[in-house]
Amino acid sequence: MSTVITSDDSFTSAAGRQLLIFAALAISGITLLMLGLSWASSRTGAASGSNNAVDPVTNTLTVFLREEPPQLDSSKATDTVSGSVLGHVVEGLLRYDEHNQIAPGVAESWDIRADGATFRLRENARWSDGRPVTADDFVFAWQTALDPANASEYAFILYPVKNGEAINAGELPLEELGAVAVDDRTLEVTFERPLAYFDKLVTFSTYYPIRRDFYQSVKGAFGADANRILYNGPFVISRWVHGASLKMDRNPYYWNPDRAKLQTIDFAYITSDANASLNLFKDDKIAYTTLLAENLDDAMQQRWHIHRFMDGGVFYIEFNHRPGRLTGNHHLRKAMQLATESAELVYKVTKLPGYLPGESLFPVWLKGVHGFFREEYPANYPHMDLEQARRHLEKAKQELGLKVIPPLVLLSGDNPVSNIQAEYYQQIFRKHLGLDLKIDKQIFKQRLAKMLSGDFDLVLAGWGPDYDDPLTFGDLFASWNLNNRGRYDNPELDRWVRVAQDEQDVQKRMDAFGEIQRILIEDAVILPGYERGVTYVTNPQMKGMVRRAVGPDPDFSNAWIVD
Residue 30 is a binding residue for another protein (CB under 8 A): yes
| Beta-sheet strands, E only, within 228-360 | 235-241, 245-250, 264-270, 288-291, 306-319, 356-357
Residue 11 is a binding residue for another protein (CB under 8 A): yes
Site for another protein in 61-90 (CB under 8 A): 64, 68, 70-71, 73, 76, 78
The reply to whether 272 sits near another protein by the rule CB under 8 A is: yes
Q: Under rule CB under 8 A, which residues in 109-138 are in contact with another protein?
A: none
Taking the least distance from each CB to another protein, the nearer of 444 and 507 is 444
CA atoms within 13 A on the CB side of 446: 8
Q: Which is nearer to another protein, 40 or 404 (by Cβ)?
A: 40
**Residue 562 is a binding residue for another protein (CB under 8 A):** no
Main-chain phi, psi angles of 73, to 5 degrees: -85, 105
Is residue 556 a contact partner of residue 514, using CB atoms and an 8 Å limit?
Answer: no
Q: Pick between residue 26 and residue 562 the one whose CB is nearest to another protein.
A: 26
Which among 526, 530, 535 is positioned nearest to 356, based on CA atoms?
A: 530
Beta carbons of 251 and 259 less than 8 angstroms apart: no
CA pseudo-torsion sign 505, 511, 517, 523: negative
Please name which of 164, 169, 228, 149 lies closest in space to residue 195, comparing C-alpha atoms: 164
Phi-psi label, residue 462: left if phi above 0, alpha if psi -120 to 50, beta otherwise? beta
Binding status of residue 269 toward another protein by CB under 8 A: yes
Phi, psi at residue 92, to the nearest 5°?
-90, -165
Q: Pick the binder of another protein from 348, 370, 498, 543 (CB under 8 A).
A: 348
Q: Which of residues 157-176 bind another protein (CB under 8 A)?
A: 165, 168-170
CA distance 179 to 249: 32
C-beta of 64 vs 138, nearer to another protein:
64
Interface with another protein, residue 502, by CB under 8 A = no
Whole-number minimum distance, CB 181 to another protein, in Å? 25
| C-alpha to C-alpha distance for 541 and 287, rounded to whole angstroms | 8
- Binding mask 401-440 vs another protein (x if CB under 8 A, - otherwise)? ------x-xxx-xxxx--xx-xxx-xx---x------xxx
Build a one-symbol-per-residue string for 94-113: x at contacts with another protein by CB under 8 A, - elsewhere. Answer: --------------------
| 385 is an interface residue for another protein by CB under 8 A | no
Return the residue of 101, 111, 149, 213 that touches another protein, per CB under 8 A: 149
Q: How far is the CB of 351 from another protein (least distance, A)?
A: 4
Q: Residue 32, interface with another protein (CB under 8 A)?
A: no
Q: What are the φ and ψ backbone dihedral angles of 515, each rounded to 5 degrees? A: -65, -45
Instruction: Work out whether 344 is an interface residue with another protein (CB under 8 A).
Output: yes
Only segment of 107-115, 175-183, 193-201, 343-351 that touches another protein (CB under 8 A) = 343-351
CB of 222 to another protein, least distance (A): 6
Alpha helices in 177-271 (DSSP H): 198-201, 212-217
